[in-house]
Amino acid sequence: MHILFCADGTKAAPWVEALRVALPQHDIEDWQPGAPAADHAVVWSPPQQFFDEQPRLKGVFNLGAGVDALLKLRLPPPATVVRIDDGGMAVQMAEFVCHALIRHFRELDAYEDDIQQGKWSYRKPRSRTDFTVGIMGLGVLGQRVAQAVQHFEFPVLGWSRTAKELPGARCFTGAEQFDDFLAATRVLVCLLPLTPETEGIMNARTLARLQPGGYVINVARGGHLVEEDLLPLLANGHLAGATLDVFRTEPLPAGHPFRNHPKITVTPHTSARTLREETVAQIARKLTAFERGEPIAGVVDRERGY
């Protein structure tokens, strides 16, 4: 089999080398324009030219969980698109979300400010039962985050497209239960895929439904948040703050109002990184099973968008 690697913003050599070690029976190359037709591709944000030149691809293995950028391209119609499920990202996402939640709940920024100003003062302990965490998206990452947050004994709610049951969490399903989910949530965590249905899902109307003193943690995609709707809700105090890892434009432009906002913590799309060793092992396993005609996890439904 001939496999091409094409990943924007990634040093190709160590990936190609690791893929060659994991799949020694295959011929694996870093893509160059005009490369001969391949059977499979391992990609992250490739240019349209890549797919225009590769009409014979059977499998397109995405180097991440989210396929929103990939599905915007014209892909060879018969190609099966496969995303990474977990691959070491779930535990990273769990630690990132728990860190953001606890930093907010325990007022650690305020303590740090006090210490900087030479103060040694105490804040009234807050009750975790007043900080219900609502997780939008109960897939590979959302479920792992729900489990981690429950370890710290916060009440947990979840919302997904199809019905789910999660031990210890109250689950809501579909558009008809969305407003009830929001109204019961104080800390909103977004772990949805970006699709036409979820684009702009965090906006003035939906964020206003969160409990007073609400907090937003967006670790999915920048397109889920209507950025200009967040600022008035922070200004009028309905929302206490936000931790944002993803943005409509990345890198977040200099001078963007989220930069240096006292109630917003910004990180550079780093909450769950693609880890080479785990990712290569997963792709090698899936590609081999796919070639044998065996079922594999993480096949993307192109119509549904995730």
Residues labelled as active-site residues = 221, 269
Q: How far is the CB of 184 from ligand GLV (least distance, A)?
A: 28
Q: Which two tokens stand for residue 120?
A: 């040694």
Between CA 192 and CA 273 the distance in angstroms is: 17
Contact in structure between 158 and 172 (CB atoms under 8 Å): yes
Give the residue with the Cβ less far from ligand NAP, 4 or 89.
89
Q: Segment contacting ligand NAP (CB under 6 A): 46-54, 70-78, 136-144, 255-263?
A: 136-144
Is 66 a binder of ligand GLV (CB under 6 A)?
yes
Is 59 a binder of ligand GLV (CB under 6 A)?
no
CB-hemisphere CA count at 13 Å for 129? 0
Is 286 a binder of ligand NAP (CB under 6 A)?
no
Is 217 a binder of ligand NAP (CB under 6 A)?
no
Give the residue with the Cβ less far from ligand GLV, 64 or 298.
64
Strands of the chain (E only): list them.
Answer: 2-7, 27-30, 40-44, 59-62, 80-82, 133-136, 156-160, 170-173, 187-190, 214-218, 239-244, 264-266
Is 223 a binder of ligand GLV (CB under 6 A)?
no
Between CA 225 and CA 244 the distance in angstroms is: 10
Q: Segment contacting ligand NAP (CB under 6 A): 14-22, 139-147, 208-216, 236-244?
A: 139-147
Between CA 265 and CA 3 the distance in angstroms is: 40
Q: Hey, which residues between 149 and 188 contact ligand NAP (CB under 6 A)?
A: 159-162
The 3-state DSSP class for residue 29 equals strand
Q: Segment contacting ligand GLV (CB under 6 A): 11-19, 58-66, 198-206, 286-294?
A: 58-66
Is 65 a binder of ligand GLV (CB under 6 A)?
yes
**Sheet (strand 27-30) strand order:** 27-30, 2-7, 40-44, 59-62, 80-82
Give the residue with the Cβ less far from ligand NAP, 219 or 225.
219
Q: How far is the CB of 288 from ligand GLV (least distance, A)?
A: 22
N- to C-terminal Cα distance for the chain?
Answer: 27
CA angle, residues 15, 19, 22, in degrees to nearest 5:
140
Biggest CA pair distance of the chain: 67
Is 87 a binder of ligand NAP (CB under 6 A)?
no
Q: How far is the CB of 131 from ligand NAP (least distance, A)?
A: 22
Is 41 a binder of ligand GLV (CB under 6 A)?
no
Is 223 a binder of ligand NAP (CB under 6 A)?
no
Question: Cβ atoms within 10 A of the Cβ of 6, count?
Answer: 25
Give the DSSP letter of residue 236: T
Is 42 a binder of ligand GLV (CB under 6 A)?
no
Give the residue with the Cβ less far from ligand NAP, 5 or 159.
159
The binding site for ligand GLV (CB under 6 A) comprises 64-66, 274
Summarize as ranges the residues that interact with ligand NAP (CB under 6 A): 64-66, 85, 89, 137-142, 159-162, 191-195, 197-198, 219-221, 245-246, 269, 271-272, 306
